[in-house]
Structure 1
Amino acid sequence: MRGVLGAALVACALTTALPTAASAESTGVARGSGAGVQRISVAADGTQFDVDSTGGAITTDGRRTVFSSADRVYLRDEPSGQLKQVGSYPIASPALSGDGEYAAYGVRLFRDTKIKLAQWTAGSSIGLDCDALNCSQPSVSGDGRYVANVATIGRPSSSQRIDVWDWHARTKQELAWFAHTAPSRPSISGDGRYVAYQDGEAKDVFLWDRDYGSTSGPIEGPAKEATIVQLSEDGSKVVYLSGSDTYVHDVGSGTARRVPDVKGLAIDPTGTYLLYAPNDPTGPSLVLRDLRTGTDEVVADRPATAGVDAVSAGGRDVVFQSTADDLVPGDTNGKSDVFVRRFS
């Protein structure tokens, strides 16, 4: 590790008040009832949330989800159904650790952007000691120990670097520097060993390996432009977009599988299931593909969106966002909601 955190992490207690919202009966699939669609952006008392994140994120085992609403970050635990506010004033969709204990999100601090790490058990957040004016685009390891993020330099920002923070040891490692501020979108593996990221200006995707202290890439080859989607939690697959197609890069073999005419959105923690949006607007909006068999299952046939970390292990659960009011009974708020499609 080349850098050391210079200041202690600051703990901030958070309130637990829910936003004022319309009220309805609790809706969706009963806990433990198996397959179906469940709305998760609703409290036990029927309070409905106006969701402002892109689809939320889900844990490896599908037990916990995270989403933001009305300037608050919420973690939901299933099958208990407990909903807890763990953060405030996110500026983008929160990221979630694989075990669901931590959620990372960016906040505005005067003219700067910082990252906070919220904890389910404590119900509070700590501020990562970002040593740049702006830190954003967090990605969290499986147990929440490591956070990959982008630090932009200068005012106005003129360059950026990609960091990995070990907030237990209070150390930082710098992976790459770019003389521009095009999105880098780092994605970290569950054990924190690998980080995939992109050079948003050159349209190249790279993979950093902590064990060897080395970076490989561009993984798509020299003649192709690529945009990163996600690194699977087990570190075995990197999903990227190129042209109108999606590619699933196998880290072990160095080969890539092409999934034509679709936009990849997320991959499950085992690198086996790909969530994508078909480029054909006449079909379903979200589809889950089993990469072993090539078979597809419809996640949503209404307009819907999803972000990274949207699929649990084995493709059992998919979290997404939709304005449709007929996915579950009792959806009366007329706003965007977060849902989980459970396949088993």
Structure 2
Amino acid sequence: MRTALGAAAAVCTVTAVLPGAAVAQAASVADGGGAGVERISVAADGTQADDNSAGASITPDGSRVVFSSSATNLTPDGTTGGDRVYVRDQRTGQTRQTGQLRPLQAPVISGDGAYVAYPVQWVNDVRIRQYQVSTGATASLNCSAYSCNQPSLSGDGGYVAHVVFSPRQPSFGQRIEVQNRSTGADQTVAAFGHTYPSRPSISGDGRYVAYQDGKTEDVFVWDRTVGTASGPIEGPSAKASLVQLSDDGSKVVYLSGSDTYVHDVRSGTARLVPNARGLAIDPTGRYLLYAPQDTTGPSLTLLDLWTDTDETVSDRPATAGAGAVGAGGRDVVFQSTADDLVPGDTNGKSDVFVRHFS
């Protein structure tokens, strides 16, 4: 069921959207691809994970989900001892372990589902390992002999936006770079003399990179074609933290105070979603996944920014991250310890679920 939102109020270049109280209940297991909730942190035969699973992202078409898990029974050759990364193919129902190393951050997946990347400990440094899902082939980003992390993949995995920590900055600091997987060439997007998180987020075509200056709490958008950055997009008087750039490069979601803003890259205007913590945006920039600040309602809600309507993703305690929403808002991946979202959830662990909307 959809809940209509109140009339939007325009103030300067910011449009306010008032999240309504969504009333839809999370369904049980999805039936034949229809609406409902499906648990995907399971083995190919449906056996539930024997330990915690989390940190999931989904491809735009909903065909593949990447997540991390410390379970040992998701694949026949599951690795023991700490988290590993898995890719669930929704078309075949197969779950595959991708790489043998422990992820230091949530894994990310390319838009076509062909590549997965995540940072790992490498001797005394941190390296980003990129894996081809179909073959398991690996590649490590050239980080100029220094640590790199916070990867973001373009639609075909050909470009990787990431952060390099280097003592060659004015003081020990960081660079945001985009590396071309085919040539190994790097393009510097920005450099900071500090190590506050930058959270780069690259568009599907690799043209735009959104990032934050974590020290000044400003958000910027870099256009790789013209080699310039716009911003801070939140204006000079506000403080902001980046959530995600939409796959088409049209929208940037950022947080400021207790509110969420959706910035339109083309017009330079922003849309306010008050009393909401934005978590992710779908590839088209139309659907915003958020957690209401009001803890008496649903834990996760999907807002259609065109029609100002809400849909409940989960009315049980749940969390999600960037990359959690498929194109058109049809699929939303999240994690929860709730044991009543689907039948037979008896492991008492955090599981990964997909909410399907018909």
Determine the structure 1 residue equivalent to 2:341.
327
1:247 correspondence with 2:264: no
The corresponding residue for 2:272 is 258
- Alpha-carbon offset, residue 132 of structure 1: 4.2
Find 1:74's aligned residue among 60, 74, 86: 86
Q: Distance in 2 between matches of 1:257 and 1:132?
A: 41
- The equivalences for 1:1-344 within 5 A come to 28-30=29-31, 32-49=32-49, 50-54=51-55, 56-70=56-70, 71-88=83-100, 89-154=102-167, 158-344=172-358
Whether contact under 8 Å (1:237, 1:271) holds in the other structure is: yes
Give deviations 1:141-185, integer Å, cap 9, x for gaps: 000000000111139x92011010111121111111101000000
User: Within 2, Cα distance between the matches of 1:233 and 1:33?
Assistant: 24
Question: What CA distance in whole angstroms lies between the structure 2 residues aligned with 1:220 and 1:46?
Answer: 46
Which deviates more from structure 2 when the two are superposed, residues 137-146 or residues 126-135? Answer: 126-135
Identify unmatched segments of 5+ residues in structure 2: 1-27, 71-82
Q: What is the letter of the counterpart of residue 164 of structure 2? A: A
Q: For residues 115-149 of structure 1, what are the alpha-carbon distances to aligned partners after superposition, in whole Å with 9 as ceiling and x for unaligned?
A: 01111111232211221421010000000000000
Q: Is the CA contact (8 Å cut-off) linking 1:53 and 1:92 kept in structure 2?
A: no
Give the secondary-structure state (helix, strand or coil) at the position aligned to 2:98: strand
- The answer (yes or no) to whether the contact 1:162–1:186 under 8 Å persists in 2 is yes
Displacement after TM superposition at 1:96 (Å): 1.0
Instruction: State how far apart, in whole Å, the 1-side matches of 2:145 and 2:284 are.
Output: 34
Question: Is 228-237 or 65-74 further displaced after alignment?
Answer: 65-74
> Which residue number in structure 1 is paired with residue 74 of structure 2?
none
Secondary structure of 2:104 counterpart:
coil
Q: For the residues of structure 1 that align with 2:315 and 2:99, how far apart are their CA atoms?
A: 32
RMSD (Å) for aligned C-alpha atoms: 1.4
Q: What is the alpha-carbon distance in structure 2 between the residues aligned to residue 336 and residue 53 of structure 1? A: 7
Q: Compared with structure 1, are the counterparts of its residues 215 and 245 closer, same or farther at alpha carbon in structure 2 (3 Å cutoff)?
A: same
Distance 1:341 1:139 in 2: 24
- TM-score, normalised via structure 2 length: 0.86
1:44, CA displacement in angstroms? 1.8
Structure 1 unaligned spans of 5+: 1-26
The equivalent of 1:24 in structure 2 is none
Contact 1:41 1:51 in 2 (8 A): no
State the SS of the aligned residue for 1:53: strand
Q: Deviations over 1:191-227 (max 9, x none)?
A: 0000000000000000000110111110111111010
Partner in structure 1 of residue 15 of structure 2: none
SS at 2:54 equivalent: coil
SS in 2 for 1:87: coil
Structure 1 segments of 4+ aligned residues over 3 angstroms from their partners: none
1:40-73: CA deviation from partner (whole Å, max 9, x where unpaired): 000122332233433x000010111000112211
Matched letter for residue 235 of structure 2:
G
Q: Separation in 2 of the partners of 1:162 and 1:269?
A: 22
Q: How many residues align?
A: 315
TM-score normalized with structure 1 length: 0.89
Alpha-carbon displacement from aligned partner over 1:238-272 (angstroms, at most 9, x marks no partner): 00001111000000100000000100000000000
Question: For 1:148 and 1:52, how far apart are their aligned partners in 2?
Answer: 25
Counterparts of 2:182 and 2:52, CA distance in 1: 32
CA distance in 1, matches of 2:135, 2:247: 25
Q: CA separation in 2, counterparts of 1:46 and 1:63?
A: 17
Q: Distance in 1 between matches of 2:33 and 2:118?
A: 32
